[in-house]
Amino acid sequence: MVAKIIKTKLEEGAWIRQMFTEGQKLSAKFGADQVFDFSLGNPTLEPPLAFKNAALKILASEESGLHRYMDAHGLRDVRAYLAEKLSQEHQLPFTFHHITLCVGAGGGLNIVLKALLNPGDEVVILQPFFPEYRNYIANHGGVVREVATTRDFQIDFAALEAALCAETCAVLINSPNNPSGAVYSASDLRTLGDLLFKKSLGRQTPIYLITDEPYSKILFDEALFAPPIRYYEHTILVTSYSKALAIPGERIGYVALSPTCHDCADLVQALSWSQLALGFVNAPALMQRIIPVIGDQYVDIAPYQRNRDILWEHFQKLGVECVKPQGAFYIFPRTPIADDGVFACEALSERLVFVPGRAFGVPNHVRISFCFETEKILRSLKALANVFQCGRERKLQRADAPSL
């Protein structure tokens, strides 16, 4: 029989899977082309040609041992390449020791949390958050502490400060944010660093800042990504190439410990131990080798920006309350009716598939992924107008209801 906790988790998440299944059913009935399945952050854009060329070049080489095990941290030369790059970017003295290649950001977060958490330790996450964070923290005996953000999904420092306590082991942030597209400013990250510094005074171990950055290459307008690692010494960076190269199925990312991080040498060992103990063993070898070959050749984000602009303007016209995404490839509008689950179900009748906001800790919203061809986004506008306006009408009707 399945573990009891998973039974519970499966029931809790049943409606997400149901949405996914409903989307699949719609696709089977009308053709995938005729369904606007915006539920997943699974880019339909292809990786840059440099990715394919790098993989072909490595595979075709006569070098031996390309596919062997290696140190659980990953290949030394790839780690050294990343350390050099991060050192230049952040003016911090990274060496290969600080870098651990990992099985995507999901794998990276799990080895970091396994390395850090004692039973009962708290990890703060900010609403809205990537839903798996709750599981990642619970996997290793941690306790999730959810903290609300401001109306535009920026850090609410009063709320955050109130949540920090003796049990806080780490604060986990995600900028650009999935699902809101919020990007934290340098000024806010400096304030965050100062707060964590202040709250760490007198503690045996400081509060760690874990920054999950898979969307750091997907930024719009003038939104410069502010790298959190520059603003707090005890920062652990976790990222992946899933979004930057549009290769989420290949599971490649890395963890970088700030060289100024508390207990750094022990953490390096603990990451290696966790990588083995959790069964990851090492990040996929071929994908590791690709990293230094392709350098800074990422996906072209112009289509994402175009899609963001189209959806944002559309929602403005429709009068839908919505924060303008500054990065990532999601938009997170407020739903016209209170129950985001019901709203997402109703949207199916227009062949629209969304994830309800409650999955991200913020009900009354839906997440709409826009990592798809612009043509599909354009074709969906009418359906979007129908569901968002229809919902508004019902809301207006309900507002009238008490007078009946």
Site for a copy of itself in 300-329 (CB under 8 A): none
Residue 76 interacting with a copy of itself (CB under 8 A): no
Which of 324, 363, 320 lies closest to 341 in space, CA to CA?
A: 363
- Dihedral pair phi/psi, residue 145, rounded to 5°: -120, 105
d(CA 385, CA 395): 15
Buried b (16+ CB within 10 A) or exposed e, 205-243: ebbbbbbbbbbbbbbbeebebbbbbbbbbbbbbbbbbbb
**Min dist. Cβ of residue 76 to a copy of itself (A):** 11
Residue 361 in contact with a copy of itself, rule: CB under 8 A: no
Tell me 334's DSSP state.
B
Q: Which of residues 5-34 bind a copy of itself (CB under 8 A)?
A: 5-7, 9-10, 13
Q: Give the phi and the psi of residue 367 in degrees, each rounded to 5.
A: -95, 125
Q: Which is nearer to a copy of itself, 150 or 269 (CB)?
A: 269
> Beta 253-257 vs 330-331: how paired, if at all?
unpaired
**Residue selected from 97, 262, 306, 394 as contacting a copy of itself according to rule CB under 8 A:** 262
Of residues 129 through 158, those in contact with a copy of itself by CB under 8 A are 132, 135-136, 139-140
CB atoms within 10 A of CB 373: 12
* Contact call for residue 396 and a copy of itself (CB under 8 A): no
Query: Most distant CA pair in the chain: distance in Å?
Result: 80
> Phi then psi for 395, rounded to 5 degrees?
-65, -40
Judged by beta carbon, residue 115 or residue 347, the one nearer a copy of itself is 115
Site for a copy of itself in 99-118 (CB under 8 A): 103-110, 114-118
CA–CA separation, 122 vs 171, rounded Å?
9
Instruction: State the Rg of the chain over Cα.
Output: 22
For residue 26, CA distances in Å to 18, 20, 44, 344 come to 12, 10, 19, 14
Residue closer to a copy of itself, measured from CB, 67 or 379: 67
Identify the residue among 33, 64, 402, 403 touching a copy of itself (CB under 8 A). 64
Segment lying near a copy of itself (by CB under 8 A), choices 4-12, 144-152, 212-220, 359-367: 4-12
Q: Return the structure tokens found at 317.
A: 């016209």
Looking at 80-88, 262-270, 342-350, 391-399, which segment touches a copy of itself (CB under 8 A)? 262-270
Nearer to a copy of itself, 148 or 278 (CB): 278
Taking CB under 8 A as the criterion, the residue among 68, 158, 202, 296 binding a copy of itself is 68
Which CB atom, from 269 or from 349, has the smaller least distance to a copy of itself?
269
Phi-psi sector, 312: left (phi>0), alpha (psi -120 to 50), beta: alpha
276 binds a copy of itself, rule: CB under 8 A:
yes
Q: Is residue 330 at the binding interface for a copy of itself, with CB under 8 A as the rule?
A: no
Interface residue with a copy of itself among 15, 27, 40, 297 (CB under 8 A) is 40
CB of 116 to a copy of itself, least distance (A): 6
Judged by CB under 8 A, the chain residues 179 through 238 that form the site for a copy of itself are 204-205
Tell me if 250 contacts a copy of itself by CB under 8 A: yes
| Interface pick for a copy of itself out of 31, 60, 91, 402 (rule CB under 8 A) | 60
Tell me if 308 sits within 8 A of 221, measured CB to CB. Answer: no
Number of residues that bind a copy of itself (CB under 8 A): 75
Least spacing, CB of residue 388 vs a copy of itself, in Å? 27
Q: Which residue has the tokens 């924060």?
A: 323
Nearest to 183 by CA among 171, 175, 173, 192: 175
Taking the complex as a whole, the smallest distance from the CB of residue 44 to a copy of itself amounts, in Å, to 7
Cβ closest to a copy of itself, residue 212 vs residue 350 = 212
From the CB of 21, what's the least distance to a copy of itself, in Å?
11
Residues 327 and 130: their CA atoms lie apart, in Å, by: 15
Q: Which residue in 23, 47, 228, 391 binds a copy of itself (CB under 8 A)?
A: 47
Alpha-carbon distance 281 to 143, whole Å? 26
